[in-house]
Chains A and B, each alone.
Chain A
């Protein structure tokens, strides 16, 4: 299918991209990897006057380390993140979640920043970003930047803290070196969006769970963090029985959708089962 006509801009710096956004305002849509935007344009569900392609801005690409943080450029593809040893070592949860995204073709085009800003609650990047306590660096007019915690980043369905005229430029992730991690994704066919996903990462100490972080995919209008579960897990042994009890509160604050893949109650049931499995797997049990 053919999108409606639009003008195409391909700035080569963040400053130019932000300037273009300022100039075109509401008329403009930002193109990252295009794995969500292009189908939307092709099905004519949206018809922006200008598309600003971030694909030619080198400073948005790649993974680097900055002290106790990993820094991932917003335009880094899933495939590049998967190939990064730094991510595997210091943020294993993100690698494991990204490995479940769609199929290899999509992972080679889709970007981590694009997925975060698109903010589909069934996407697989939001929950690990929340669980890992990521910080999102946002560029605004006149070279200004601000940093937003992941918990404040996701505002609603397809809505984030990235405001008009702003761009997400970096994802900063505190290193979780030595933490066990698991992403439990529940789908009917492999290339599907998550019906429910659970991102769990655990630091074990002396045979029990010292710290745990749990993020939920598609259990509400945004990715969610299961703080009550995280707290209940502290000090627990990684046994089926202990974890089963600790995850009982996982649905506090969830409000999952109902659709062809399952109704809201079924998703809540899945969340309890999948959280237990994710935590046990993350703890190496």
Chain B
């Protein structure tokens, strides 16, 4: 048999670039696979959590007597029972040495800092018995005043954690003058105030809930020499490290398995109270235990995302050239600093300036603790917030100048000839072509025709107005160069690991340190390895998510898997080839220097002699005929630490119709042209882009986590947390331009978050554009029909445009108040 028989009919057709249907889809879509909740172990107990209904309280007494007597109950465990062994939910990224980081116990001992915190765990023979008994646990609370609003939290009048003495966790600043990457932003703003344009706006990034499809679930088997934990997590390797680091269990005794995981969007990059509680209870009772959350628990207790007030000041010359950008953020961390926590807004620090050539830039974030669910990474993590703000500001600048917003962007962006380009924030963008992406997007969109229709609708006073929104975004992917993470005080590296095992039968096992939860890594990695080693796609098996199999890794988040993880795979494959070449030369009785490797075959230059990779693998396995001193193994490991981030970009254009009678908005057209570098599998990319777009559009239009004034999550079910379905979205037009990343072999840039990062401002810009003629210059997200309609009413009630102040201004010295608030309320 020769391997070429299994190749596509045209053996020269590379796997990379093919729209392969995903290997994993049959089992994922049918559900006939191992999800954590499907796991049943002999003697396994089921856990139910008793959670605090109060946002801020002291636990004064817990009576477990009735619960203990309930049928099937094996144990009722409180925080006090396990306080020395339960470990802690860790923050891996303190922004600086002064950061206030409240101790985060998985099961609280006495202080509850947000509703939904676990106060006791019931273990029973069945899940139903555990749930029944949980209702019998009687907890006495002394309620404490809760701080629930970000702007209230700044005042430090009510404290989320009274022992800390303040709600401010950390303040972190990046300043172009201070770091030498640009001029002083205050000088630029002052100059523009006297002879230029200054735009001042405050935007709200509402709180979102990741709402992954599979609720979180953990099984812990404490029996045997090694403790095994299955968990629906994005981060098995980080979980293993933190379990060891915070419980004292030796790392070598901990095996974490992330079996098939049903989505995460960042929501599963946390090490969770539920995981630690399950481990602690299983160890205490000496029995395997399983905990699976309900959807209600998931919405309440899984970490939330976004939640910022963004105060921006942008200065420009009268000709539209931008000069300075000042960003002041208040970021709500909720009750605790999550694993990345305060680092999420900091990830946006290099992105507010985006693709534009500001001379000066200043970024400050104040992270704040409140008595709400903790906040951490959610699809895009810091970059969507930044992209939203700058893309809204560029539209506001264009409106102020009375110019086309695309034209103002083009005037200010980094031109194709200027790459590589070091930005005012200090990042070096290696490649990009904003002109090409924008030209393609404009054509696909029918930009000029839609502008003409918009004009017609305005002139005819059509009750349905049309708006066009633009987002020429960039982002940073491929987290992350370890040295940069070290400089930022992050607690780990950003490298990624891979191993390739060449089996005797010609099959190939690829071990990857990234941890897919729906992305399609098995398919993409198979395509990459098939091309690299010249073996059939089907013969590549990708193994992941088990710390005993792929023992090293930094897991999956931050669009890093393909950029960093697959580069490690490529490098491991190249090592295999180098090792195999030696064996092949020996088998072919030729010099290693004369061996050429193409299409899976080692040939001798100038002859027709050759052996295939599987033949070399078999010969190596038998070990019968190897050169002296050569080990009988082709297997290889590689660890890749990137030198830089990658910088995908794109131009997104959105047309929204606004029914001015009701405020209802309808998407008319959405075009995006993304430059994500080289593409491995166009079908997977298409899926990532569509899903990302919907999530970003949902932030603009539908989603928002809302609390009442007692700190109860009002949007605690999908009745009130309005996730869209396919019935609410249109068919998107997607396309690509390609500027490969310059520092990886594959030239890929990452696409997991692009859609979610880019689409939100495109939608809001379109809605504001549709109703700007009514005197509207902002609408809070989600842009509900009510908010849109009220913005129109309010705009209509103020004097005509010519009589309005040209620009609203922030009052001197007042932090974060909105001079141009067009809509009601400042509450989250």
Contacts and interface: CB of A to CB of B under 8 A. Distances in A.
Interface string A170-201: 00000000000000001011111101000000
A186 B664 contact: yes
Nearest to B297: A1
B481 interface: no
Interface in B673-730: 701-702, 704, 706, 714-715, 717, 719-720, 722-725, 727-728
Given A1-B296, A189-B722, A266 B131 contact: no
B662 A260 contact: no
A246 to B, nearest CB: 17
Interface string A103-138: 100000000000000000000000000000000000
A5 interface: yes
B127 interface: yes
B784 interface: yes
A190 B727 contact: yes
A263 B785 CA distance: 11
A56 interface: no
Main secondary structure of the interface of B (DSSP, over half): loop
Contacts of A266: 786, 789-790
B131 A191 contact: no
A4 B722 contact: no
Given A263-B786, A269-B789, A273-B662, A189 B723 contact: yes
Nearest to A4: B132
B200 to A, nearest CB: 29
Contacts of A43: 296, 717
A44 B48 CA distance: 14
Interface string B780-807: 0000111001100000000000000000
A41 to B, nearest CB: 12
A285 interface: no
Interface string A223-235: 0000000000000
Given A2-B131, A188-B702, A260 B720 contact: yes
Interface string B400-436: 0000000000000000000000000000000000000
Contact of A273 (B127, B661, B701): B661
A53 B83 CA distance: 47
B702 A260 contact: no
B728 A190 contact: yes
B128 A2 contact: yes
A12 to B, nearest CB: 28
B48 to A, nearest CB: 9
Nearest to B723: A189
24 contacts: A1-B294, A1-B295, A1-B296, A2-B127, A2-B128, A4-B132, A4-B135, A5-B132, A103-B725, A186-B664, A186-B785, A188-B701, A188-B702, A188-B784, A189-B723, A189-B724, A189-B725, A190-B727, A260-B784, A261-B784, A261-B786, A266-B789, A270-B662, A274-B662
Interface of A: 1-2, 4-5, 43-44, 103, 186, 188-193, 195, 260-263, 266, 269-270, 273-274
Given A2-B131, A261-B786, 15 more contacts: A5-B128, A103-B725, A186-B662, A188-B702, A188-B785, A189-B723, A190-B725, A191-B727, A192-B719, A260-B704, A260-B714, A260-B720, A263-B786, A266-B789, A266-B790
Interface of B: 127-128, 131-132, 135, 294-296, 661-662, 664, 701-702, 704, 706, 714-715, 717, 719-720, 722-725, 727-728, 784-786, 789-790
